[in-house]
Amino acid sequence: MVKTCATVWDSCLRTIRRNVNTQSFKTWFEPIRPVRLEQNALTIQVPNKFFYEWLEEHYVALLKMTIRQELGEKGRLEYQILMGPNREQDQSSKISVKKDMNIPGAVDTGSIKNPFVIPGIKKVTIDPQLNPSYTFENFIEGDCNRLARSAGLAVAGKPGGTAFNPLVIFGDVGLGKTHLAQAIGNEALISDPGKTVLYVSSEKFTNQIIESIRNNAVNDFVNFYQLVDVLIVDDIQFLANKIKTQEIFFHIFNQLHQNGKQLVLTSDRPPKDLDGMEERLISRFKWGLSADLQAPDLETRMAILETKMNQEGLDLPYDVTEFICYNIKNNIRELEGVLISLVAQSMLNRREIDIELAKEVIKNFVKQMSKEITVEFIQKLVAEHFDLPVDKLKGQTRKRSIVIARQLSMYLAKNLTNKSLKAIGENFGGRDHSTVIYSCKAVQDLLDTDMIFKDTVSDLEKKIKMSLNEK
Number of Cβ within a 10 Å radius of residue 146: 11
The whole-angstrom separation of Cα 177 and Cα 173 is 8
Domain ranges of the chain: 5-92, 146-293, 298-362, 375-466
Instruction: Please tell me the predicted confidence (pLDDT) of residue 339.
Output: 82
**Residue 114 and residue 183 in contact, taking contact as beta carbons nearer than 8 Å:** no
CA distance 189 to 223: 22
Question: Strand, helix or coil at 376?
Answer: helix
Three-state secondary-structure class, residue 80: strand
| Long-range pairs of 301-310 with CB within 8 A, sequence gap ≥ 24 | 301/325, 301/328, 301/329, 301/332, 301/335, 303/140, 303/142, 304/140, 304/332, 304/335, 305/335, 305/339, 307/138, 307/140, 308/335, 308/336, 308/339, 309/339
Range 51-83 burial, b when 16+ CB lie within 10 A, else e: bbebbbeebeebbbebbbebbeeebbbbbbbbb
Q: 365 near 331, Cβ under 8 Å?
A: no
Determine the pLDDT at residue 467.
60
pLDDT the model gives residue 308: 79
What's the pLDDT at 82?
A: 65
Q: What is the pLDDT of residue 218?
A: 84
**Alpha-carbon distances, residue 24 vs 13, 14, 54, 132 (angstroms):** 12, 14, 12, 31
Residue 25 has what DSSP assignment? H
Dihedral, CA of residue 100, residue 101, residue 104 and residue 107, to nearest 10: -170
Pick the CATH number of 5-92 from 3.30.300.180, 1.20.120.80, 3.50.50.60, 2.60.40.1260: 3.30.300.180
Cβ–Cβ under 8 Å, residues 236 and 201: no
Strands 33-38 and 41-46: antiparallel
Which class is 375-466 in CATH?
Answer: mainly alpha
> Hey, what amino acid is at 459?
D
For residues 155 and 262, the answer to whether their CB atoms sit within 8 Å is yes
Report the CATH superfamily, name and number, of domain 146-293. P-loop containing nucleotide triphosphate hydrolases (3.40.50.300)
pLDDT at 116: 60
The answer to whether residues 180 and 148 touch, using CB atoms and an 8 Å cutoff, is: yes
Taking the chain (471 residues) in runs of 10, the rounded mean pLDDT of each run is 85 88 81 88 82 80 88 86 48 36 39 51 63 87 86 90 90 88 93 88 90 84 87 92 90 90 92 88 89 83 81 76 77 80 79 79 63 80 88 86 91 82 87 90 89 85 64 43
Domains 5-92 and 375-466 alike in fold: no
Q: 298-362 has which fold?
A: Helicase, Ruva Protein; domain 3 (1.10.8)
